[in-house]
Structure 1
Amino acid sequence: MLQEWLVEFLAGLGKLFIHPLFYFSFLLAFIAGMFRVSRERKDFQTRVYDIYQEIRYILPSSLLIGLLLSVVTLVLGLTLPIELLNMIAAVTVIFSLVGFRLLSPAWTVGAAVLLFYAAETLGYSFIPDQALSFEGMLVTVVLLMALLVITEGLLMIKQGWQGTSPRLTKSPRGLKVGMQLAQRLWLVPVFMVLPAGDLPSFASWWPVVSIGAEAYALIWFPFLVGFAQLIKSTLPELAVKATGKSVITLGIASLVLAVAAYWLPLLAVASAVLVILGRIWISWRHYSYESNHPYFFTKQPMGLMIIGILPNTPARKLDLKIGEIVHKVNGIAVRSENQFYEALQKNAAYCKLEVVDVNGQNRFVQGSLYAGEHHELGLLFVEEESEYILGEN
């Protein structure tokens, strides 16, 4: 039996690339990269990351988590009708038109479940043969939704704050200030047990295993998990990790209710309501906090605050950080970009920076430069006017 499961599992794995959501995720990430690059060029006359930056994050980390979730779903034998999976895919595509911020599993899976419930209430079912009642399906759905929300939080803490995109805007007082946009899209592939009778006729080739008198298929479903968070009042790492921890806490609380629903089915409804409303509250709390706190990335009286660092530039090698303030260059105090680059040219082969870190402590950064490299150091600042192109386009 184990060998049969393994063979069919591998056979299904070989055909997982046929799902439209798999390709849609890469297209969506590519389009997001286009808009990001366009905005960065408008604000800084250069892009920070290339157009493929969002694509690079789609699979590496989420693939491992997806495999772990697959083990859980297969061991527990979690079964969902293919109609619901198709509904989740449709809702995901529709929500993605607004942006990554609506691609939390709490909302994509939750909205699909609400549509199913509305259909049941109106006397219409998406499940033709009624093999699985809505009440019986709900317990499985909320369990999966809680696991996916926990996954969302873990991915946010691990990768959500990395490679944020700097932006410039006007403060209410008309001053130019900076913000950071953290956005990510992850593809979380999960193998699930699907009743073979739910497979459409054109999918007769799909691998099927038998358990007693029942036949089941192992179907791969790519859950798209995304988020977008605009940060103005603090460092991206602090803001995104705080949100990620809140999302994980919400997922765990929902998971406890989902597990308890196996004995008290009414708790499945409580779990679904908690995770949907809780995720809305987390997003609203962040928005409210940002709206009521001053901008962090602003023009500084004691130097130049770093709002962005271009990849593959000398600034990366100098281990400079976003949010740090460059106070002196080669011993010369700087208050503008002009002064910054003029001070760099005092020593064309070597630079020494005095930096105030995010904790308010002074530190020295130094390194070698190559001829002409002072114009391509790779730092972006909040300035009223930029007279230098700071990196390659």
Structure 2
Amino acid sequence: MTIGLLVVSLVAQPVWWVGLIREWWTADRRIKQERLTFGSAVYSDKYEVRHFVLLSILFGLISSVISLAVGLTVPTSWWIGYTILALVAIIIGLGARLPITLLVGSVVLYDWFNHSSINRQIMAPMKQWGFSVRTVGLAGLVILSAGVLLLFGFWLRRVGGRFASPKIFAQKRGKLIAGYPFNELLVIPTLVFIPGDFISSHLAFWPVLSFGNTSVTPLFLPLLIGLNLTIFKQAPKTAFRKLSKSLLLLGLLILAGGILSIFVKSASLIVLGVAYICYLGCLIRVRWHDRHQSFWFSKVDHGVRVLGIRPDTPAAKMDIQVGDIITECNQLSVHSENSLYEALLSDPTYCHLKVQTPEGDLKVTETAIFDGAPHEIGIVVFKD
């Protein structure tokens, strides 16, 4: 019965469903933009939705097991406040932009509220309804923040740059360049303990666990992680891997700080503040490093720049990477999209390419292609 009720509460989690709708809308908008810019979608499947569903379940299971193992208890008022803020953030489009800001900000607001006179005025009448006013140390929330950063790092390593979907931008002088936006969100339903029996006092069938003289209620907490970042001058996968390493290292350091906060309570907000500053530093470092590279995904005169490679096409089997420049196709020089397809038509069943890498190295690659359908080779380039 208890497990069934928890499953129902997970399925009925509004933040998760709103997040799913947001990812569906994001994927649909991306596909429409790709079709408008390149004639057809680079990635026709809604991979954002697939990532959201599968990784939410996987990470939610992992985080819930760890949470139950350590007995993670979060304050009732913070659980309510964070859930509302997460829901509002997704609705107004800030869920992927400010996930860590939302988490740290909600903890700071909780601590301020807990020490303010407003707390006594609001909580006094709510206590009559069975609302628990027992405070919970911030150390648990610091450890929770460390866990979110670790999951953030693993998530980014798993999906960051894996689907390099280009978007065309115009520079000040009208020169066209390509950037690679990453705009995904994840809602991780994590099972935590809430002090008291506020829910069961109104819903008698809801499970309540007792540990000595303390009662706690198990509930799912919808943790947000997400990122909205565009890479202009690096291989997207490389850039996001570097960021994921920084987040994983930061998560481990904050975890150590959270454990310290258990014994030194005054250190909790300091550790959390340092964590947030370091997190912002990681994002700024990635942006700075990207903006200070000399390379651009831009049009070239001596060939055609590869902006993307569609999956399950002949090009996906070739030794071609995003950023490469195709200089020859079937022994014919190419300098535009039309000249590339004209060269492909010279041999309707086979494709032989001469390619220059961004570092200036030359390589040759070849593959069979779909007979009479050169446009389905799967190479995405600037439109003429």
**Which of 355-364 and 218-227 deviates more?**
355-364
Q: String of CA shifts for 1:32-89, please: whole Å, max 9, x gaps.
A: 1233223323332332223622111113234333322222211221111333122112
How far is the alpha carbon of 1:230 from its aligned partner?
A: 0.4
Q: Which residue of 2 aligns with 1:221?
A: 221
Check 1:306–1:286 CA distance in 2 against 1; reply closer, same or farther (3 A cut). same
Aligned pair 1:12/2:9, yes or no? no
2:82 equivalent in structure 1: 88
Q: Distance in 2 between matches of 1:101 and 1:285?
A: 19
Partner of 2:193: 193
Change (3 A) 1:204 1:137: farther
Partner of 1:3: none
- Give 1:301 shift: 4.0
Cα distance in 2, alignment partners of residues 67 and 358 from structure 1: 42
Percent identity, aligned pairs only, is 23
- Kindly state the Cα deviation for residue 371 of structure 1 after the two structures are TM-superposed: 2.9
Are residues 1:305 and 2:305 paired?
A: yes
Change in Cα spacing, 1:192 to 1:120, as seen in structure 2 (3 Å) is: closer
Contact 1:37–1:49, Cα closer than 8 Å, also in 2 = yes
- Normalising to structure 1: TM-score of the pair? 0.87
- Deviation larger for 304-313 or 208-217: 208-217
State the match for 1:132 in structure 2. Answer: 134
> 2: distance between equivalents of 1:108 and 1:167?
28
Matched, 1:350 2:350: yes
Q: Which runs of 5+ in 1 are unaligned?
A: 1-6, 387-393
- Per the alignment, residue 390 of structure 1 pairs with none
Query: Equivalent residues in 2 for 1:168-317 (5 A)?
Result: 168-199=168-199, 201-317=201-317
Equivalent residue, structure 1, for 2:44: 50
Structure 1 position 262, deviation (Å): 0.9
Q: Which amino acid aligns with 1:339?
A: S
Alignment check: 8 A CA contact 1:30 1:51 kept: no
State the AA in 2 paired with 1:102.
Answer: R
**Which residue identity lines up with residue 351 of structure 2 in the other structure?**
C
Q: Is the 8 A contact 1:102 1:108 kept in 2?
A: no
Does the aligned pair in 1 maintain the 2:324–2:357 contact within 8 Å? Answer: yes
CA shift for structure 1 position 224: 2.4
Alpha-carbon distance between aligned partners in 1 of 2:157 and 2:299, rounded to the nearest angstrom? 29
Q: Deviations over 1:196-246 (max 9, x none)?
A: 423265443323333334333322223221111100011101111111111
Counterpart CA distance in 2 for 1:48 and 1:186 is: 23
**CA separation in 1, counterparts of 2:320 and 2:201?**
58
Show the counterpart of 2:337. Answer: 337
Q: Distance in 1 between matches of 2:19 and 2:319?
A: 33
Q: Is the 8 A contact 2:15 2:187 kept in 1?
A: no
CA distance in 2, matches of 1:218, 1:43: 48
Number of aligned pairs?
A: 375
In 1: Cα distance, 2:44 partner to 2:103 partner? 32
Conserved? CA contact 2:20–2:49, under 8 Å: yes
Query: How much has 1:110 moved relative to structure 2?
Result: 1.1
Q: Over residues 249-297 of structure 1, what are the superposed CA-to-partner deviations in whole Å (9 max), with x where a residue is unaligned?
A: 2222211111101111111111210122222222233333334444520
What is the identity, as a one-letter code, of the residue corresponding to 1:132?
A: R
Contact 1:208 1:216 in 2 (8 A): yes
How far is 1:14 from its partner?
A: 4.6
Post-superposition, which runs of at least 4 consecutive aligned residues in structure 1 deviate over 6 A?
A: none
Corresponding residue SS for 1:365: strand
Residue identity opposite 2:188 in structure 1: V
Offset at 1:28? 0.9
Q: CA separation in 1, counterparts of 2:198 and 2:330? A: 70
Residue 67 (structure 2) aligns with: 73
Q: What TM-score comes out, normalization by structure 2 length?
A: 0.89
| 1:27–1:260 CA distance, 2 compared to 1 (3 A) | same
The Cα of 1:170 is off from its aligned counterpart by 1.4
User: What is the DSSP-based 3-state SS (H/G/I as helix, E as strand, rest coil) of the residue aligned with 1:24?
Assistant: helix
State the distance in 1 between where 2:7 and 2:96 align: 30
Per-residue displacement from partner, 1:67-118 (whole Å, max 9, x unpaired)?
22222211221111333122112222333324454243x2121121222233
CA distance in 1, matches of 2:134, 2:149: 24
| Aligned Cα root-mean-square deviation (Å) | 2.4
Question: Per the alignment, do residues 224 and 101 of structure 1 end up closer, same or farther by CA in structure 2, a change over 3 Å counting?
Answer: closer
Q: Is the 8 Å Cα contact of residues 325 and 356 (structure 2) preserved in structure 1?
A: yes
User: How far apart, in 1, do the equivalents of 2:81 and 2:158 lie?
Assistant: 29
Q: Choose 72-81 or 42-51, whichever is displaced more.
A: 42-51
Partner of 2:97: 102
Match of 1:29 in 2: 23
- SS of the residue corresponding to residue 193 of structure 1 reads strand
